[in-house]
Amino acid sequence: MKSRPRLVAVANRLPVHRVGGIYPRWVTSPGGLVTALAPIVRKTGGAWVGWDGSTERKASPFTHDGIAIRPVSITESEVESFYNKFSNQTLWPLYHDAIRTPIFDRKTWRPYVEVNSRFARAAARTAQPGDWVWVHDYHLQLVPAMIRQIRPDVKIGFFLHIPFPPEELFAWLPWRKQILQGLLGADLVGFQTYAAVRNFSRLARDFTTAEGTDTALEYEGRTVAVNAFPISIDFKSFEDVARSRESSEAGALIRQRVGVGRKILLCVDRLDYTKGIDARLQAYELLLNSGRVSVDDAVLVQIAVPSRERVFEYADLRQEIDRMVGRINGDHSVPGRVAVHYFRRNFSREELIAYYRAADIMVVTPLRDGMNLVAKEYIASRVDSTGVLILSEFAGAARELRRAVLVNPRDVEGLAEAMVTAIRTPVKEARHNMNILRMQVRRHDVFEWADQFLRALQD
């Protein structure tokens, strides 16, 4: 990585946000993208162009933890049209199997173009000769072609962190051609899985003038490389924290408080309808109702960080989960033995790792997920090589983590069965599987992910 050019990351979110009233300060933000990308940009002494999540006046450029931060402003009305609506009520559901019905509203397209153009201009200003620009995610799919127009001299990579849908869904989008043309402005377009590569290339051939194979498209006199780069985590940093005395003690305290003599099933998610939180609670409730599992045997801990709360589908989900947890606890908890511990807030990385250490079973059951880093974080934190991972077949991570208990997250009875299997897995078998899982994530960490993407960008 040392000889790599300086990287300019361009993502909707900056890796930091402001907290505190009178004396505000910048702190690192949660989320898969930041967790994965910040260490890489820092290593090249690079910059990050993005939004600070507020509509207050634009912050001046500054440096945070070795990264040059270049804030882009988004107005109140653009938060509504660009972020809440076009990004999170049109693209997000469309790209996730239309789990909720995508909304196609002509009024939101223009703001999407405008905000993309603002990001592209900021990136073009920030990039010095010889820098590489790396654009991220579904909010900014027009940016590669827009940067190319202003700065044809810089190399441009694009990586999509979420799934890319098949033609049967993508073709619904009234702006399908423009989105594809925007992405084809990159030198390299990367996805989490090969299925997404196939979907994209097929669509590019069908709806634009692009020709060629799934991994090399000829478009407007250039070759656009397309490939799969499964994202990962900084394995060592999770392992290091998990090995510390503080983490071991914090994990033991959690066990003592909630889990003495009980199996702890842990779930950690953004509060998002793609994560399958409701189906997994139903599965657990089924086990309690049927008497196959009792509150003396097991406890489910759900940690959920609120997300996109001004979007109706998210507010609705929050209420539904509140109701479900209330119902399960009302029906099944006994003094000193709560059936579901529900934390609806952000946890620090250290706190999360303590929970990962305490959990006998990690339940990761998204209905559709680009990758899912939580599954990998759990594995990296299991420094004693115990623990069982239940993982949805529809998370990108399922392609790699074959030693997990793989489940169809929509099959509530199958999911309940998988929980029982996990609870009963003999320690020796769990250890064998966890060792293989740990080897996989250790070898294929976030640095390898970035290295492979950047090597492919160089070619």
Contacting positions for ligand ADP (CB under 6 A): 30-32, 35, 268-270, 303, 305, 346-347, 352, 371-374, 377
The binder of 234, among ligand ADP, ligand F6P, none, by C-beta within 5 to 8 A per type, is: none
- In the complex with ligand ADP, the residue whose CB is nearer, 120 or 264, is 264
Q: Is 375 in a helix, a strand, or coil?
A: helix
Q: Identify the residue whose tokens are 């049209």.
A: 81
Least Å distance between CB 93 and ligand F6P?
A: 13
E-strand stretches of 328-387: 340-343, 361-364
Question: String of b and e for 56-94 (b: at least 16 CB within 10 Å)?
Answer: eeebeeeebeebbbbbbbbeeebbebbbbbbbbbbbbbb
How many residues form the binding site for ligand F6P (CB under 6 A)?
A: 11
Least Å distance between CB 268 and ligand ADP?
A: 5
Least Å distance between CB 371 and ligand ADP?
A: 6
Least Å distance between CB 37 and ligand ADP?
A: 11
Q: Is 412 in a helix, a strand, or coil?
A: helix
- In the complex with ligand ADP, the residue whose CB is nearer, 32 or 102, is 32
The binder of 59, among ligand ADP, ligand F6P, none, by C-beta within 5 to 8 A per type, is: none
Q: What is the DSSP letter of 274?
A: G
Q: How far apart are the first and last CA of the chain?
A: 15
Task: For residue 13, state whether it binds ligand F6P (rule: CB under 6 A).
Answer: yes
Scanning 27-35, 101-109, 280-288, 313-321 for contacts with ligand F6P by CB under 6 A, the matching segment is 27-35
Cβ partners under 8 Å of residue 257, min gap 6:
none
The binder of 341, among ligand ADP, ligand F6P, none, by C-beta within 5 to 8 A per type, is: none
Helix and strand totals (H; E) in the chain: 17, 18
Residue 425 token pair: 């897995």
* Largest Cα span, the chain: 70
In the region spanning residues 28 to 57, those forming contacts with ligand F6P, defined by CB under 6 A, are 31-34
The binder of 408, among ligand F6P, ligand ADP, none, by C-beta within 5 to 8 A per type, is: none
Separation in Å, CA 227 to CA 7, 187, 193, 236, 453: 20, 11, 8, 26, 9
- From the list 16, 140, 142, 162, which residue makes contact with ligand F6P (rule: CB under 6 A)? 162
Least Å distance between CB 85 and ligand F6P?
A: 13
The binder of 230, among ligand F6P, ligand ADP, none, by C-beta within 5 to 8 A per type, is: none
Task: For residue 308, state whether it binds ligand F6P (rule: CB under 6 A).
Answer: yes
Least Å distance between CB 356 and ligand ADP?
A: 9
Cβ partners under 8 Å of residue 291, min gap 6:
none
Q: Is 96 in a helix, a strand, or coil?
A: coil
Rg of the chain taking only CA atoms, in angstroms: 22
The closest residue (CB) to ligand F6P is: 31
In degrees rounded to 5, what are phi and psi of residue 50?
-175, 180
Least Å distance between CB 110 and ligand ADP?
A: 27
The binder of 308, among ligand ADP, ligand F6P, none, by C-beta within 5 to 8 A per type, is: ligand F6P
- In the complex with ligand ADP, the residue whose CB is nearer, 35 or 126, is 35
Query: For residue 394, which amino acid is it?
Result: F
Query: For residue 343, which amino acid is it?
Result: F
CA-nearest of 233, 172, 177, 185 to 205 is: 177
CA-nearest of 324, 322, 227 to 284 is: 324
Burial label, 17 (beta-carbon count in 10 A; 0-12, 13-18, 19+): middle
- In the complex with ligand ADP, the residue whose CB is nearer, 122 or 340, is 340
In the region spanning residues 276 to 295, those forming contacts with ligand F6P, defined by CB under 6 A, are none
Give the whole-angstrom CA distance, residue 82 versus residue 310: 13
Least Å distance between CB 413 and ligand F6P?
A: 29
Task: For residue 166, state whether it binds ligand F6P (rule: CB under 6 A).
Answer: no
Task: For residue 275, state whether it binds ligand F6P (rule: CB under 6 A).
Answer: no
- In the complex with ligand ADP, the residue whose CB is nearer, 35 or 87, is 35
Strand arrangement, sheet containing 340-343: 340-343, 298-305, 263-270, 361-364, 388-392, 405-407
The closest residue (CB) to ligand ADP is: 32
The binder of 347, among ligand F6P, ligand ADP, none, by C-beta within 5 to 8 A per type, is: ligand ADP
Question: String of b and e for 351-361 (b: at least 16 CB within 10 Å)?
Answer: ebbbbbbbbbb
Give the whole-angstrom CA distance, residue 41 versus residue 15: 10
The binder of 137, among ligand ADP, ligand F6P, none, by C-beta within 5 to 8 A per type, is: ligand F6P
Least Å distance between CB 62 and ligand F6P?
A: 21
Binding letters toward ligand F6P, positions 115-154, x by CB under 6 A: ----------------------x-----------------
Binding region for ligand F6P (CB under 6 A):
13, 31-34, 137, 161-162, 270, 307-308
